[in-house]
Chains A and B, each alone.
Chain A
């Protein structure tokens, strides 16, 4: 019996169309758009100005405050302008536009393929390099990694959990990263272990990636303390709290951080980025992005420089199919529909999913029949239908009492609802409202 989390969960069709497709580097675009806010927290402050020449790896923007991240140039060329650019949600945010000229890298970056397994750096130095490289959680939450590696006082990490569940249907970027860069992922994991002073790490991989499990198990023999844990395929296993429950059978209390149970969770992509930053001195300038969809000619996994407009990726995968209904940034469960194909790839973009008109259609909403499917599906043990009603009638006290702020926005409730009720839409809104109320009360 394979391990999995114990509350709720669903199993949507996996549709991993691009599994097994090699990671191919995408051709450099003509211009990249690098938003100053690609992470949770304060936007970075630009340190270049119009007309500056930059190389690959040049610092473009400095982290502002503790929860923030550096941003580096992903291409070489000239800064065209610093201006507003559309982000994925149609709002305008500040971004740096760079016209690409050639492909010149900073000399400090080691571009060789040789794998270095050991480092003499101390934990503090590793964390410093991670912060300098602007690494954020690459699973999609984009929380600055150095913050996660610095536990708040009074907490001690006991175990490192590497999130390689990739529970979102369609997405395969982490899967292919493990297949092709397995060694680097494991070194990155041991570096993270060193950074948080733990001797044990578990890489949790869902059972629908049997080849990746076998591959890493073979490699992991050489690494002390790293264990590969196959998991039963179930969504949302990649949720931090779900993964902790799956692997070490501990439940993170309502409102608490994973560190309260002694766990630090990092994405497998983050582990790879940490390897590159610490060993190769390479900042976070590119990532693996899956471009997929049932109608897409060539579902693929691309290695993309950050800031590349997503049109380029779609073109490389065979162009936009006719009768496209929706383009989603991320996976089908938690991804966001994009309003514009000019938006750039950012640190948090794990995939681009193209749905046909037929797939994208949302069925009309009907009345709640009190079947409680959403209640059984909720991985946080919440009562989604009640939370939706509380939000509809602006009963924020009731919503707060029923832990609306614990919602991880996985969308399992909306997925299971036979009446097609937009549960998550309402709960997400209510969660924001309640969090605002709590903040106002505290201050």
Chain B
């Protein structure tokens, strides 16, 4: 009895094995082993900053692409990209390191609250309902939609200013916060040499008087910075100045002439003092 059972089971097993083997051969899906290799090299953040659905999607795209021109992992940066290029034997792509920049400096003192919002505490919902708790309908709500989408813990709401603050060392420029901000306040800008950057920290397009009334730190569109800039890096449109980071040479002249202090400089050494060797303490956004 036992013998019969063992034989029959063995036969069934053998037939099944043969069938499974045949099936696996017939329906085999060939996957380029390099995809796995590339994926191994990627940071596995699955942030979508590259524009593909997660790291495996990006790895797949890298392997299939002829050139790596339009493919870039913002999280891994040049280091990871050169590794990917090495695996695939392709040209290395280089891209300027970017960083997220918050273009609102309407802190609690500069931009007094004139109403209280008590609806669902997300920026997305608040901005579909109305302009915000202050007189500035362009400014930051401060409910932190950018904070909750950040996978890298690189952006936080500053408890005193009520505005988001980017931690540059952690920011990978994946762009999640840029997409999450319903006011389009956050922009990806060139990180700059030694992380030095100059930008207009305001997106208020109202006329000067209106903007100034709503917020002391607003760009009033006076155009002084445009005249001061020797490199034509600043444009004034709809009562708002914008500094083109590809043209800006970081001379800092515009910062000095801005009457409202809307133009911010980051990580510069203090003026009129010999430049310190190490990074200067990050300027706190006022």
Chain A residues within 8 Å of B, Cβ to Cβ: 84, 89-92, 336-337, 339-340, 361-362, 422, 425-426, 428-429, 432
Contacts and interface: CB of A to CB of B under 8 A. Distances in A.
Contacts of A336: 129-130
30 contacts: A84-B206, A84-B207, A84-B210, A89-B130, A89-B131, A90-B130, A90-B131, A90-B137, A91-B130, A91-B131, A91-B137, A92-B206, A92-B210, A337-B115, A337-B130, A339-B115, A339-B130, A339-B131, A340-B114, A362-B118, A362-B119, A422-B119, A425-B119, A425-B125, A425-B129, A428-B125, A428-B128, A429-B124, A429-B128, A432-B128
Contacts of B115: 337, 339
B77 interface: no
A425 B210 CA distance: 29
Given A91-B137, A339-B114, A339-B115, A426 B131 contact: no
A89 B118 contact: no
Contacts of A89: 129-131
B74 interface: no
Contacts of B114: 339-340
A425 B120 contact: yes
A340 B125 CA distance: 20
B125 A90 contact: no
B221 interface: no
Contacts of B129: 89, 336, 425
B99 to A, nearest CB: 25
Nearest to A432: B128
A442 B173 CA distance: 32
A362 B118 CA distance: 7
B132 interface: yes
A113 B206 CA distance: 46
A362 B120 CA distance: 11
Of the candidates A89, A339, A432, the one having the most CB atoms from chain B within 10 angstroms of its own CB is A339
Contacts of A90: 130-132, 137
Nearest to B114: A339
Contacts of A337: 115, 130
Interface string B100-137: 00000000000000110011100011001111100001
Contacts of B206: 84, 92
Given A91-B137, A339-B115, A339-B130, A426 B210 contact: no
A109 B132 CA distance: 42
A335 to B, nearest CB: 12
B130 A429 contact: no
A334 B130 CA distance: 15
Contacts, number: 44
Contact of A92 (B119, B124, B130, B137): B137
Contacts of A432: 128
A340 B130 CA distance: 11
Nearest to A421: B120
A429 B125 contact: yes
Contact of B125 (A92, A362, A426): A426
A339 B119 CA distance: 14
B42 to A, nearest CB: 24
Nearest to B205: A92
B50 to A, nearest CB: 20
A422 B120 contact: yes
Contacts of B210: 84, 92
A428 B131 CA distance: 16
Nearest to A325: B116
A423 to B, nearest CB: 9
Contact of B120 (A84, A361, A426): A426
B156 to A, nearest CB: 22
Contacts of B118: 361-362
Contacts of A92: 137, 206, 210
B47 to A, nearest CB: 15
Nearest to B132: A90
Contacts of A340: 114
Nearest to A428: B128
A324 to B, nearest CB: 12
A339 B137 CA distance: 11
A377 to B, nearest CB: 19
A404 B229 CA distance: 51
A265 to B, nearest CB: 26
Given A91-B130, A361-B118, 15 more contacts: A84-B210, A89-B130, A90-B132, A90-B137, A92-B137, A92-B206, A92-B210, A337-B115, A339-B130, A422-B120, A426-B120, A426-B125, A428-B125, A429-B120, A429-B128
A340 B129 CA distance: 14
Contacts of B128: 428-429, 432
A90 B115 CA distance: 11
Smallest CB-CB A-B distances: 7 pairs = A90-B131, A89-B130, A425-B120, A422-B120, A362-B118, A90-B130, A429-B125
Nearest to B126: A425
Interface string B205-245: 01100100000000000000000000000000000000000
A151 B96 CA distance: 57
Interface string B126-164: 001111100001000000000000000000000000000
Contacts of A91: 130-131, 137
Contacts of B130: 89-91, 336-337, 339
A428 B124 CA distance: 11
Contacts of A339: 114-115, 130-131
Interface in B37-87: none
A337 to B, nearest CB: 8
A164 to B, nearest CB: 29
Contacts of A429: 120, 124-125, 128
A90 B132 CA distance: 7
B145 to A, nearest CB: 11
Nearest to A423: B120
A421 to B, nearest CB: 9
A89 B131 CA distance: 6
A277 to B, nearest CB: 32
A84 B210 CA distance: 10
A340 B135 CA distance: 9
A163 to B, nearest CB: 26
A53 B119 CA distance: 44
Contacts of A84: 206-207, 210
Nearest to B119: A425
A89 B137 CA distance: 9
